[in-house]
Amino acid sequence: MHRDHFVYSVRNLKNRGLRSWLTMIGIFIGIAAVVSLIGLGEGLRVAIMSQFGFLGPDVLGVQAAGLAFAGPPGTGVVDPLADDLAEKIKNVNGVKAAFNRYLESGTLEFNDKRGIGIAASVPEGENKKIFETMVNLKAEEGRLLKDSDSRKVVLGNDFKKGETFGKAIKPGDRVLVNGISFEVVGILEKKGSFIFDSIVLMNEQTMFDVIGTNKAQVNVIAVKVEDAGRIGEVKEGIEKLLRKERNVKKGEENFQVNSPQQTLEALSSTLFAVQLFVYIIAAISLAVGGIGIMNTMYTSVLERTKEIGIMKSIGARNSAIFTIFFVESGLLGMVGGIIGVILGLSFAFGLSAVGRAVLGSELIQASISPFLIIGALLFSFALGTVFGVLPAYRASKLNPVDSLRSAK
Amino acid sequence: MKKSIIKLENVWKVYQMGNVEVNALQGLSLDVKEGEFLAIMGPSGSGKSTAVNMIGCLDVPTKGRILLDGHDISKLSESELAQVRGKKIGFIFQQFNLIPTLTALENVALPIVFQSVGRETRIKKSTELLNIVELGDRMHHKPAELSGGQQQRVAIARSLANDPEVILADEPTGNLDSKTGEIVMKFLQNLNRKEGKTIITVTHDSNVARHADRIEFLKDGKVIKSLNNRKGD
């Protein structure tokens, strides 16, 4: 029996083709907005997370603050970190290890093609192991650097793709870093971080000797704490030390001590606020869409008053009339939702494809979970039915005598 | 003596129109026997339509009793009335009142849908009925593609869908030319004579009324004259 009501409802919607579509626009714009914006927002979150997310909760980074217009973090600052600072930080209570990191931007040439990239130092001695575990460094091809390696580099996973140089770089190949020839000894595992996947790693000493990096200008001091639970305390300790060392007052610090995890959490909460805002806008749009459904359904009840009277006179109970109208508005919501989901998906994936192709940025990517899709569909159906209840109830309660007498 | 199928006992219907009370029916009493063909005639405002609504269980009286098959329907709920209408009464209207979006076959099947009968049975029954009203070749046409006379025949088929005991026809030829009207009346007469259906028609057309066994004349909401029309009775 309900199947017949369903068929009848579908037929009515088809009959009012243009109006049904117009009503659904309200829904599918809302749903498309929800699906695409949440998908892209989630994608952005995933992308940001993957940049630093592999750094554990027990890691701190110390940087000199200042304006760095271009280049890697900590370069071009007014008052760089001194190279003996790491040793002092090591003595702060709760610090397990601290070592200098040097970053250098420059050119990389291979296969007669030139690219721009960031070279990063790998500490030597006991800090090398700590660094390798800290960032979970593993070679996918070849090997990692040894202390004895000079004029040797390990490259990020992206160099395997051969996008920049027209051909994949393999261990054993030679590349030119700032015009100087290096041997590639290994390719790193993929990290999902565009910084790490396109990095050029070389030994610290090589960087000073061959590239000419200034040993006295440290870009970042990486700190590993003993107990992740006490990271806040350790951070304060380091800040206190640095204020003293650099002779600045509290509140006027010209340096930063960051925990990547905390930074990510702050970023996530910002992103969440943005997403919440999007949710609210989408909710308003959906409420408007829902009212559109209600409006259409009321009009439909008015238009079909006589039809309702006829159906009642030939034995339709109130519940049957209710079902017919209820299903109709539910269908308006659901079909609107399906189209909205399809539009939202195409928009999100389209935009991320454009982002990759035009901007070359992997930050614009869509991450759409099945829950989002199912949720959007259920929500749109619920929206249709909720806003259809009143019109359907009104239709079901129409008096058959008056309905039959109505003009049309 | 045949049993009463519909009995109205001192039925009153009072409508409130603003501050004025309108007495549409003022103590109407009527007794319709099983298998009878009854015509109700009267000028406009005489309460014909109100009477039809009462008999057809579309409306309940303000006062008085309506007995359908011996059961008082004046106290039934809206849903129970719908059930009674669907099973026991077949309606034929002046304006045909077919659902424009449905085909002839679907229109005829609709009352059966509301009785929750399976699809196969429904189609079989509806096809049979359309063949009876000689529209077997127009089954899949929508009302707009049918002439007035054809539409009214579809409506007749629909009124028979659930094998009702009573067919209630409100001005069944009012929108038809006299020739087509005559064909429709012949169908109704056949239903009465051959199938033994009880038929009640409301009309102001004496050509329609002459097909009936008995004519009741209404004025001011009550019967003022009764005429036995059956030849040989």
Contact A310 B97 (CB under 8 A): yes
B168 within a domain of the structure (yes/no)? yes
Q: Is B145 a residue whose pLDDT tops 90?
A: yes
Residue B153 falls inside a structural domain:
yes
pLDDT band at A271 (very low <50, low <70, confident <90, very high): confident
The encoded tokens of residue A131 equal 């660094």
- Please indicate, yes or no, whether residues A398 and A303 belong to a single structural domain of this protein: yes
Q: Is the dihedral of CA A373, A376, A377, A379 positive or negative?
A: positive
Examine the domain organization and report whether A114 and A178 are in the same domain.
Answer: yes
Structural domain boundaries enclosing B206: 34-57+77-228
CA-CA-CA-CA torsion sign (B72, B74, B80, B86): positive
Q: Using the predicted structure, report yes or no on whether residue A375 has a pLDDT greater than 60.
A: yes
User: Cβ contact (<8 Å) for B86 and A320?
Assistant: no
The CA distance from A322 to the nearest CA of chain B, in Å, is: 12
Region A343-363: what's the mean pLDDT? Answer: 79
**Same structural domain for residues A17 and A84?**
no
Domain count, chain B: 1
Task: DSSP letter for B3, please.
Answer: P
Do both A273 and A236 map to the same domain?
A: no
**Residue B199, in any domain of the structure:** yes
Residue B137 lies in a domain: yes
- For residue B121, give how far its alpha carbon lies from the nearest alpha carbon of chain A (Å): 13
Looking at residue B140, its pLDDT comes to: 92
Q: Is there a single domain that holds both residue A231 and residue A274? A: no
Say yes or no: A63 and A189 in one domain: yes
Determine the pLDDT at residue B200.
Answer: 92
Nearest CA in chain A to B164: A314
Domain assignment present for residue B24? The answer is no
Residue B233 pLDDT level (bands cut at 50, 70, 90):
very low
pLDDT over 70, % of chain A:
93
Note whether residue B110 is domain-resident: yes
Residue contact A315–B85, C-beta within 8 A? yes
Contacts 24+ apart (CB under 8 A), B189-196: B189/B37, B191/B156, B191/B160, B191/B167, B192/B35, B192/B37, B196/B34, B196/B35
Q: At what angle do helices B148-159 and B119-132 cross, to 10 degrees?
A: 130
pLDDT tens, A138-150? Answer: 888 888 888 888 8
pTM strictly above 0.80: no
Which residue type does B170 have? D
Residue A237, CB-side half-sphere exposure with 13 Å CA sphere: 16
Quote the pLDDT of residue B232. 42
Count how many domains chain A has: 2
pLDDT in tens, B149-183: 889 889 988 988 888 889 998 888 888 888 888 88
Q: Which of A198, A232, A259 is the last residue of a domain?
A: A259
Partners of B111 on chain A (C-beta within 8 Å) are 314-315
Q: Which residue has the higher pLDDT, A258 or A71?
A: A258
Beta bridge partners of A229: none
The percentage of chain A sitting over the pLDDT mark of 90, rounded to a whole number, equals 1
Percent of chain B with pLDDT over 70: 98
Which of A227, A259, A291 delimits the end of a domain? Answer: A259
Residue A74 shares a structural domain with residue A14: no
A1 touches chain B (CB under 8 A): yes
Domain range for A240: 59-259
**C-alpha pair distances (Å), A30 with each of A25, A232, A331, A385:** 8, 43, 16, 16
* pLDDT for residue A73: 62
Exposure of A44 in the CB half-sphere (CA atoms within 13 A): 18
Mean pLDDT, residues A71-97 taken together? 77
Q: Are residues A148 and A242 in the same domain?
A: yes
**pLDDT confidence bin for A54, thresholds 50/70/90:** low
Interface touch B113/A1, C-beta < 8 Å:
yes
Q: Is the pLDDT of residue A333 over 60?
A: yes
What average pLDDT does the segment B192-200 reach? 89
Residue B158 counted as domain residue? yes
Q: Is A11 on the interface with B (CB under 8 A)?
A: yes
Q: Do A311 and B114 touch (CB under 8 A)?
A: yes
pLDDT bin (cut points 50, 70, 90) of residue A363 is low
pLDDT tens per residue across span B86-117: 888 898 888 888 988 888 999 998 888 888 88
- Verify that A101 and A210 share a domain, yes or no: yes
In a domain, B13, yes or no: no
* CATH number for the domain harbouring residue B42: 3.40.50.300
Whether A244 shows a pLDDT value over 80: the answer reads yes
Please choose, from the candidates A60, A93, A82, the residue with its C-alpha nearest in 3D space to the C-alpha of residue A246: A82
CA pair distance B51, B63, nearest whole angstrom? 13
Q: How many angstroms separate the CA of residue A358 from the nearest CA in chain B?
A: 51
Contact between A278 and A45 (Cβ < 8 Å): no
For residue B225, the distance in angstroms to the closest alpha carbon of chain A comes to 27
Residues A387 and A288 in one domain: yes
* Span B21-34, pLDDT tens digits: 888 888 888 888 88
Q: Return the number of other C-beta atoms located less than 10 Å from residue A84's C-beta.
A: 12
pLDDT at A292 exceeding the cut of 70: yes
Q: pLDDT value at position A102?
A: 86
